[in-house]
């Protein structure tokens, strides 16, 4: 279907379509005209988000939050044992012989010469299981001597030492490179987070020794948050997406919503097609249409080193027929039908379980995210991808 025919079809569905005066004539769809965002806001109540409404740690990304929690735990142990030596880890080398960066060491710090690993997990509501859960992952027993677990809950941070044996579980083919997991759940139907927290903390006490609880207002937590939020990368990210309508959402929830948006755009552009609807969680592809399997991967530009870049992770070629890339920019969601192989890269040892990556960089030293998005768009187009539509906020 041509874009002009698509426009008429969208108009017949009461969707306002604008046309951007540029060479590509990309279809522009207002965010407010789509059903997926409205249904999401109407039907999805985030129990987790409500529980963490006033928590400062909830305002930063999970990756950065993990770094903050590690910093808090290390400083607490240094303060608790002032006569001990708490030092940076020895990075060592990767399996291919290359030297690791300090932040890529297999453990987090040395405590009187003993390798100490800190793993944190957020207490979250699982809609599919109807329980609160906390999942610690990436536990590689060969890489450390002592294991510290930190449960992040609405009441604060709960620090425990682990016996390196209890409740550990394998993760199938991913175990070799991703390590073991420690998964804990409250009783099904236990919605109150305070009650569920007590259950999870009891299970942690059965695995090791309770050390302390730190509220998010504790000076160690406040100082660590401030330290890690003053970095240039986070400042650029925060400023760029300050007005973004989905800034309040976690990356996981945002990814699911954007998948539904792309699916709706695909359906609108193929009226009368045999649409099978969304597939179940963790299935090989995201939806089916006309006998074809469709997958959607979304990414938000991130500032890394000296440029903005988009990373679409976990792409398992062979499990779908068509791949959509959703580039979540500050001003619009740019939807591409991916083609070519120029930007595909290996995922290292994790590739067998997690698939490949698609990474596209903006220009070096260019801090303007809009300029970077235009360059990333041109790179995708130059390798054969099709810019299907842009959903403007």
Query: If you average pLDDT over residues 82-96, what whole number do you get?
Result: 88
Last residue of a domain, one of 214, 230, 246: 230
Looking at the structure, tell me whether residues 184 and 310 fall in a common domain.
Answer: no
The fraction of the chain above a pLDDT of 90, given in percent, is 62
Range(s) of the domain holding residue 248: 3-33+235-392
| 26, part of any domain | yes
Q: Is 354 helix (H, G, I), strand (E, B) or coil?
A: helix
Are the C-beta atoms of residues 392 and 29 closer than 8 Å to each other? Answer: yes
- Clarify whether residues 189 and 241 are in a common domain: no
Beta partners for 308? 303
Structure tokens at 166: 């209890």
Residues 106-117: tens digit of each pLDDT: 999 999 999 999
The model's pTM is 0.73
Mean pLDDT of 377-391: 95
Considering the domain architecture, whether residues 72 and 100 belong to the same structural domain is answered as: yes
Looking at the fold, whether 119 and 175 belong to one and the same domain comes out as yes
Number of domains present in the structure of the chain: 2
- Compute the C-alpha angle 143/74/96, nearest 5°: 30
Q: Say how many C-beta atoms besides its own lie within 10 A of residue 162's C-beta.
A: 21
117 in the same domain as 74: yes
The domain boundary, picked from 230, 260, 276, lies at 230
Please check whether residue 38 lies inside any domain of the structure.
Answer: no
pLDDT tier, 171 (very low <50, low <70, confident <90, very high otherwise)? confident
Give the residue carrying structure tokens 């453990």.
Answer: 107
Mean per-residue pLDDT of the chain: 87
Q: Do residues 137 and 108 both lie within one domain?
A: yes
Indicate the residue among 230, 245, 272 that finishes a domain: 230
Task: Return contacts of 360-365, CB within 8 angstroms, 24+ apart.
Answer: 360/309, 360/310, 361/307, 361/308, 361/309, 362/301, 362/307, 362/308, 362/309, 363/307, 364/306, 364/307, 365/306, 365/307
pLDDT at 25: 64
Q: Measured between alpha carbons, how far is 118 from 137 in angstroms, rounded to an integer?
A: 11
- Higher pLDDT pick, 292 / 281: 292
């Amino acid at each position: 279907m041509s874009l002009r025919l698509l426009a008429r079809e969208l108009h017949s569905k009461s969707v306002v379509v604008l046309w951007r005066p540029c060479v590509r004539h990309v279809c522009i769809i207002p965010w407010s005209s789509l059903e997926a965002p409205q249904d999401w806001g109407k039907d999805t109540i985030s129990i987790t988000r409500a529980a963490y409404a006033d928590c400062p740690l909830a305002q930063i990304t999970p990756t950065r939050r993990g770094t903050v929690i590690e910093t808090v735990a290390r400083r607490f142990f240094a303060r608790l044992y002032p006569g001990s030596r708490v030092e940076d880890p020895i990075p060592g080398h990767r399996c291919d012989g290359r030297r690791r960066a300090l932040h890529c060491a297999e453990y987090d710090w040395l405590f009187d010469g003993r390798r100490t690993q800190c793993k944190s997990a957020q207490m979250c509501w699982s809609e599919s299981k109807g329980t609160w859960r906390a999942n610690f992952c990436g536990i590689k027993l060969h890489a450390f001597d002592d294991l510290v677990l930190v449960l992040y809950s609405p009441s604060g941070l709960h620090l425990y030492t682990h016996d390196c044996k209890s409740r550990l579980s394998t993760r199938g083919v991913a175990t070799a490179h991703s390590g073991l997991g420690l998964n804990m759940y409250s009783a099904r139907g236990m919605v109150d987070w305070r009650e569920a927290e007590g259950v999870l903390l009891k299970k942690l006490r059965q695995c090791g020794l309770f050390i302390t609880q730190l509220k998010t207002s504790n000076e160690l937590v406040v100082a660590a948050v401030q330290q890690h939020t003053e970095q240039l990368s986070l400042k650029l990210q925060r400023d760029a997406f300050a007005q973004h309508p989905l800034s309040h959402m976690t990356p996981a929830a945002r990814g699911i919503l954007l998948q539904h948006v792309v699916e709706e755009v695909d359906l609108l552009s193929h009226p009368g097609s045999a649409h099978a609807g969304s597939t179940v969680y963790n299935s090989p592809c995201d939806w089916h249409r006309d006998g074809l399997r469709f997958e959607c991967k979304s990414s938000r530009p991130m500032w890394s080193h000296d440029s903005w870049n988009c990373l679409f992770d976990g792409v398992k070629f062979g499990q779908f027929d068509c791949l959509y890339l959703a580039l979540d920019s500050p001003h619009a969601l740019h939807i591409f039908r991916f083609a070519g192989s120029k930007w595909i890269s290996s995922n290292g040892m994790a590739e067998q379980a997690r698939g490949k990556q698609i990474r596209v960089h903006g220009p070096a030293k260019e801090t303007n995210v809009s300029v970077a998005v235009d360059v990333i768009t041109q790179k995708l187009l130059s390798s054969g991808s099709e810019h299907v539509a842009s959903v403007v906020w």
